[in-house]
């Protein structure tokens, strides 16, 4: 039965069966040494000339061939140990070798961290690029981060609920990816920019504490820390307030870093808390709403979390000549808490000075990156309607786009709020990586292409016809 390479440590003088890849080959005089690699590590195989048949087979082995061996675990001769690997005191004298599959010479080297290789070719051969140690580590650690989050929230009575991927567009300030509806000519689904409306509807549905590790899609120009699809921890709670959500987020992230990255130095306030700063103060002092407050930016192991609070509710969009929500329209204007009947008060303020209205909105910042944002939501349907109108939407359009939410809010909606921290940026910063592509298995280029599969690609005439779509070729 196959065992993992790391398990040979307790198997001295025993016969073991291993399967994996030829990591490297060295010939010393008559002896052939092979480094065998599997997901757990590397160990040294030795082939002696006296085992003629196996020796000759071993002579053919090249890098990245896939093999099965049976052999006996023994100590390496004195002075030949390799302290750099876990099995460095041991080697295996091979008694049986089977070549399972051969490999051509790889188009990219995988024995370095890979930063020196052009990213285009790394992406084209991503399945090989992923064999490198650094990316194996990044993806394995990413899963540990996600598992920690799941366990932490489950412990706190949150439940994970999946929400639809193809549905109606939700405004989060970006462009939607659209999916033509074959059965409904001329109609489209949108991929979610976030599960915002669904998580709010789950509060109407009485779940009270929801979360989801979820993919979100935004058709934006991609940058170093953005991808067309990315992963969020999406979270929503009923009967809550900003304080509770920030405290929960703080506890989760501090515990996570301390458990999984104990060597990181977290910059906290004197009371041992994540600092909070108003939007106004951030803009005045740092001229950005995501300041990097690390003491020493050259220290890769310093983490400076920060909450930015008291955002303005609206900002003027000159191109569209209208006031737009800074976060999204579901965010509650600040003056309204705790009474939520103040539609009149809202209009008075909005007509007087829209820019002065603050929002129950907060951002979560880490080392100068926005790693999350959230808000307390407006749960009064009349006030929500007023906010939509203030943003320049006509009542008919509001009903068409958000009718389901306004309708739902008629049936005993609890006050609620949430937050959605991104997973990719967090793991990028924890792993000291320069961009999120290093922590995503199959990322896309800056202009949204997958260099391995060739997506996006043309589709057949027949497919287009089925979807009632004609390509005009116009730009």
Binding residues vs ligand ASP (CB under 6 A): 172, 194, 196, 373-375, 418-420
Rounded CA separation 288/125 (Å):
38
Rounded CA separation 214/161 (Å):
10
Strand partners, 180: 188
Q: Residue 447 half-sphere exposure, CB side, CA atoms within 13 Å?
A: 4
Nearer to ligand ASP, 69 or 366 (CB): 366
- Picking from 243, 302, 305, the residue whose alpha carbon sits closest to that of residue 274 is 305
Nearer to ligand ASP, 359 or 428 (CB): 359
Q: Are 178 and 188 in contact (CB under 8 A)?
A: yes
Nearer to ligand ASP, 200 or 380 (CB): 200
- The dihedrals phi and psi of 373, each to the nearest 5 degrees, come to -155, 155
Burial 95-109 (b: 16+ CB within 10 A, else e): eebeeeeeeeeeebe
CB of 425 to ligand ASP, least distance (A): 12
CB of 196 to ligand ASP, least distance (A): 4
Nearer to ligand ASP, 333 or 374 (CB): 374
CB of 174 to ligand ASP, least distance (A): 10
CB of 157 to ligand ASP, least distance (A): 19
Nearer to ligand ASP, 201 or 420 (CB): 420
Q: Are 259 and 148 in contact (CB under 8 A)?
A: yes
Nearer to ligand ASP, 41 or 329 (CB): 329
CB of 124 to ligand ASP, least distance (A): 31
CB of 240 to ligand ASP, least distance (A): 12
CB of 239 to ligand ASP, least distance (A): 16
CB of 86 to ligand ASP, least distance (A): 41
CB of 365 to ligand ASP, least distance (A): 14
Nearer to ligand ASP, 20 or 418 (CB): 418
Instruction: Quickly count: other Cβ atoms within 10 Å of residue 241's Cβ.
Output: 15
Nearer to ligand ASP, 47 or 198 (CB): 198
Rounded CA separation 291/370 (Å):
9
What's the Cα-to-Cα distance from 27 to each of 36, 50, 91, 179, rounded to whole Å? 14, 15, 15, 57
Angle between helix 381-390 and helix 343-352 axes, rounded to 10 deg:
20
Nearest 10 degrees: CA dihedral of 196, 199, 205, 211?
Answer: -170
Rounded CA separation 219/169 (Å):
12
Nearer to ligand ASP, 2 or 156 (CB): 156
Which residues are CB-neighbours of 106 under 8 A, at least 6 positions away? Answer: 63, 64, 125, 128
- Picking from 304, 300, 296, the residue whose alpha carbon sits closest to that of residue 268 is 304
């Amino acid at each position: 039965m196959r065992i993992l390479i790391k398990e040979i440590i307790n198997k001295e003088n025993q016969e073991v069966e291993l399967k994996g890849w030829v990591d490297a080959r060295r010939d010393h005089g008559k002896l052939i040494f092979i480094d065998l690699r599997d997901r757990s590590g590397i160990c040294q195989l030795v082939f002696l000339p006296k085992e003629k048949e196996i020796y000759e087979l071993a002579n053919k082995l090249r890098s990245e061939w896939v093999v099965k061996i049976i052999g006996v675990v023994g100590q390496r001769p004195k002075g030949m140990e390799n302290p750099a690997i876990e099995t460095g005191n041991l080697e295996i004298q091979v008694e049986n070798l089977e070549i399972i599959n051969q490999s051509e010479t790889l188009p990219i080297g995988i024995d370095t961290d890979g930063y020196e290789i052009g990213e285009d070719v790394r992406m084209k051969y991503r399945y090989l690029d992923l064999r490198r140690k650094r990316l194996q580590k990044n993806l394995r650690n990413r899963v540990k981060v996600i598992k920690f989050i799941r366990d932490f929230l489950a412990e706190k009575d949150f439940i994970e609920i999946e929400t639809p991927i193809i549905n109606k567009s939700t405004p989060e300030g970006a462009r939607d990816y659209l999916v033509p509806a074959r059965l409904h000519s001329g109609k489209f689904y949108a991929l979610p920019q976030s599960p915002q409306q669904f998580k709010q509807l789950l509060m109407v549905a009485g779940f009270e504490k929801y979360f989801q590790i979820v993919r979100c899609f935004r058709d934006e120009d991609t940058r170093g820390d953005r991808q067309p699809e990315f992963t969020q921890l999406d979270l929503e709670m009923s009967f809550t307030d900003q304080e509770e959500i920030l405290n929960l987020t703080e506890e989760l992230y501090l515990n996570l870093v301390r458990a999984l990255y104990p060597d990181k130095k977290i910059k906290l306030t004197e009371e041992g808390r994540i600092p909070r700063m108003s939007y106004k103060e951030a803009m005045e002092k740092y001229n950005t709403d995501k300041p990097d407050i690390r003491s020493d930016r050259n220290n890769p192991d310093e983490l400076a979390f920060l909450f930015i609070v008291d955002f303005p509710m609206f900002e003027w969009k000159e191109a569209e000549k209208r006031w737009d929500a800074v976060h999204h329209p579901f965010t509650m204007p600040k003056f309204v808490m705790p009474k939520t009947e103040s539609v009149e008060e809202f209009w008075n303020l909005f007509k007087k000075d829209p820019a002065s209205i603050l929002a129950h909105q907060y951002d979560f910042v880490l080392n100068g990156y926005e790693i999350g944002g959230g808000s307390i939501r407006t749960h009064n349907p009349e006030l929500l309607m007023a906010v939509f109108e203030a943003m320049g939407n006509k009542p008919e359009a509001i009903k068409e786009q958000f009718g389901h939410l306004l309708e739902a809010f008629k049936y005993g909606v609890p006050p609620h709020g949430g937050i959605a921290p991104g997973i990719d940026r967090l793991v990028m910063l924890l792993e000291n990586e320069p961009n999120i592509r290093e922590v995503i298995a199959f990322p896309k280029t800056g202009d949204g292409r997958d260099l391995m599969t060739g997506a996006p690609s043309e589709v057949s005439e027949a497919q287009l016809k089925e979807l009632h779509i004609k390509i005009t070729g116009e730009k």
